[in-house]
Structure 1
Amino acid sequence: MSSSVRQRRPPAATQPADPGSPPNAPAPGRRGVPQLRSKLAGAGFLAPAVLLVGALLLLPFAATVHRSFFDDRRVSGFAGLDNYTLFFSDPVLTRSIQNTLMWVAGTVVLPIVLGLAIAVLTHSGGWSRVARLVVVLPYALSGAAVAVVWNFILTTDGAANQLLTSWGLDSFAQGWLLEWPGNTLVMIIANTWQSAGVAVILFLVGLQTIPPETLEAASLDGAAGWRKFWYVVLPQLRTVSVIVVGTSLVGGLKSFDLIWVLTQGGPGRQSETLAVSMYQETFLALHPGAGAAVAVVLTAIVLVASWLYLRRQLTPKGT
């Protein structure tokens, strides 16, 4: 054999590639580096918001919870649960809870019913835009401005009594804001006049998102009028209804400005809600421990009620 012929050597043995790994995959030790960087970057973007929420919400709430366990003397001593037992022994706080429950019921039911009815009636028609403007306009006003308007109507010599007198209905004229529970009921109506606007807006958005094909199919199947609304339209407004009820629930629990301007919780603290009682106890009666306890209870009620409602409504069917 010629010396020019070179003997070929077998190629060096190589480890077979992992069939499950993609080509040019990074080494196992380096795979977690991009994920770690991504998590650190996300944490960096969230950190300012978390710190801001902690500084403005969580820390004051923790301080309020701490203050609720101390009495109201100049040199505060530990009082345990004494401030919380006032809800069972103080008739003012007992009436405040009753008024709060009335506000929750009224501010949830009335805006929902009226908002949905007005949205359906003004969804189409020549005067729909004007009607929407009339209903939605009060929502742009502040609670104090709404209270000033209704104070002009509901005082003893106000527009309501003057109108009844001019119609010969003097027997129906009364001090609308001077007796419980009538004063609470008329304030709930005043609040509904303002808050129904946002319900109308949200329900109109929900109605506009319903596919026309669904309504046409329902009409072809013979559904019309109330049956069409109940079985076709209303189920498709479920998500919007969750939002409206949730916002109305929270708004009813923390109602303050309208009540304070109209009655200041009177007469005799009979029309107070928990939000008004919190202000009265803390700043007027100079009972910061009792006021802190009211604030803690009110916050707990808002959180629990919102969580229970949203958990029930947003849970997928069948789970």
Structure 2
Amino acid sequence: MIAYWKKNGEALLYALPAALLIIAFFITSIAYTIYLSFTDYNGLAAPKWVGLSNYLAIFQDATYLTSLKNTLIWVFASLILPVGFGLLFSVLLQNLKGQRIFKNIFYLPYAMSLTVVGVIWVFLFSQTGINYMLTLLGLEAFTRDWLTSPPLNTFSMIVASVWQGTGTNMLLFLIGLGALPKEPFEAAAIDGANRIRTFWSVTLPMLSPITIVVMGMSLVNSFKIFDIIWVMTMGGPYRSSETLAVTMFRESFVLFHFGQGAAISIVLTIASIAVSWFYLRKTIIKEG
């Protein structure tokens, strides 16, 4: 032990300030949040211990169940749509002339914050946006109250999120496609495989490492989606489009139910870690 400290003591001293900051601001915050989740606390009076009441409410209260359902919808849609479109566009653009122009066009929405994207799509879903264009085309029957009719409001916001997130997935898949060796494709061509067969049997399996990364990122981001929902509907109308992240914010910083908000944050954290771990474990075992 003495020899170890003599050898590594100086390096450990350099790492000590960072370690103390992590303990002070990260681990301590987690512990305090866990404690608050078992209390009724409004930020003024002393926390009152309520046990598991906050956690039970998440799975019993209709508002929280709607929030949970919307979160699951966001997770499923974020795994299928932006990842699927990103892969599709990357394959279409792989050997296309003028690829740089199209890459910039598809990536441009990702350069905007979700707040800006939300503002843009609020206008598009207003009466002077998509509905106006449909009316001009004589398609009044297809006009809708896109952001005020549940569950259409949730699906409308998912469209905006997919528009923003597809570009970065496309670029990641393009990087993966560019790194693939040519020999397997040449062998598939010699065997007479068509483009679809080559894609399913050669391209997709070889892209699995980058697919794991893209789907993992999409999975984690879908659990904590907040900005675009708050800008476009603030979780309304009547809290019908809230996700757990939005509900956590509302309970904590609008209604000042800090105990309930802490409980939701713990459930959200555990769910995102568990689902990510399960997905990565199954995928890595399958790849191995």
Under a length normalisation based on structure 1, what TM-score does the superposition of the two structures give? 0.85
Structure 1 gaps of 5+ residues are 1-31
- From 240, 258, 262, the equivalent of 1:288 is 258
How far does the alpha carbon of each residue in 1:260-287 deviate from its partner, in whole angstroms, 9 at most, with x for none?
Answer: 0000000000000000000110111111
- Aligned alpha-carbon RMSD (Å): 1.8
Partner in structure 2 of residue 193 of structure 1: 163
8 Å CA contact retained: 2:36, 2:47: no
- Give the Cα separation in 1 of the matches to 2:147 and 2:277: 34
Seen in structure 2, the aligned counterparts of structure 1 residues 211 and 34 have a Cα distance that, compared at 3 Å, is farther
C-alpha distance after superposition, 1:38-85 (max 9, x if no partner): 554554454444333333332211111111111136232211001111
2:207 to 237, 244, 251: 237
1:175 paired residue among 133, 145, 163? 145
Q: Deviations over 1:75-121 (max 9, x none)?
A: 32211001111112211101000000000011111011100000010
Letter in 1 for 2:123: F
Structure 2 gaps, min length 5: none
Q: Which residue matches 1:249?
A: 219
Match of 2:88 in 1: 117
Greater shift in the superposed pair: 121-130 or 105-114: 121-130
Match of 1:51 in 2: 20
Tell me: CA distance 1:38–1:109, structure 2 relative to 1, closer, same or farther (3 Å).
farther
Find the aligned partners of 1:271 and 1:200 in 2 and give their Cα distance.
Answer: 28
1:306 corresponds in structure 2 to: 276
8 Å CA contact 1:122–1:129 kept in 2: the answer is no
- Judging changes above 3 Å, is the alpha-carbon distance between structure 1 residues 215 and 40 closer, same or farther for their aligned structure 2 residues? farther
3-state SS of paired residue (1:89): coil
Q: Look up the match of 2:40.
A: 71
Alignment of 1:184-223 (within 5 A): 184-223=154-193
Whether the 8 Å contact between 1:111 and 1:199 is mirrored in structure 2 is yes
Matched, 1:139 2:99: no
Structure 1 residue 315: deviation in Å?
3.0
Larger RCO (CA within 8 A; separation ≥ 6): 2
> Per-residue CA shift, 1:155-185, capped at 9, x if unaligned?
2x13100000000011111110001110000
Distance of aligned partners of 1:256 and 1:317 in 2 relative to their CA distance in 1, 3 Å threshold = closer
Which residue identity lines up with residue 140 of structure 2 in the other structure?
D
Deviates more, 1:177-186 or 1:128-137: 128-137
Quote the offset at 1:312 in angstroms.
1.6
Q: CA 1:315–1:33 in 2, change beyond 3 Å: closer, same or farther? A: farther
Is 70-79 or 56-65 further displaced after alignment?
70-79
Match of 1:270 in 2: 240
Instruction: Read off the aligned partner of 2:142 and give its amino acid letter.
Output: F
Q: Give the whole-Å Cα distance in 1 for the aligned partners of 2:18 and 2:285.
A: 28
Alignment of structure 1 residues 139-158 onto 2, 5 Å: 139-155=110-126, 157-158=127-128
C-alpha deviation, 1:303, in angstroms: 1.0
Q: Structure 1 residues 172 and 316, CA, compared in 2 at 3 Å: closer, same or farther?
A: closer
Q: 1:160 to 1:243 in 2, by over 3 A?
A: same
Give the count of matched residue pairs: 286
User: Would the alpha carbon gap of residues 39 and 219 (structure 1) be closer, same or farther in structure 2, given more than 3 Å must change?
Assistant: farther
Instruction: Return the letter of the residue paired with 2:246.
Output: V
- Percent identical pairs in the alignment equals 40
Higher helix share: 2
Paired residue secondary structure (2:212): helix
Query: For the Cα contact (< 8 Å) 1:104–1:252, is it kept in 2?
Result: yes
5 Å matches for 1:88-127?
88-127=59-98
What SS does the aligned partner of 2:264 have? helix
Give, in whole Å, the separation in 2 of the partners of 1:44 and 1:124. Answer: 52
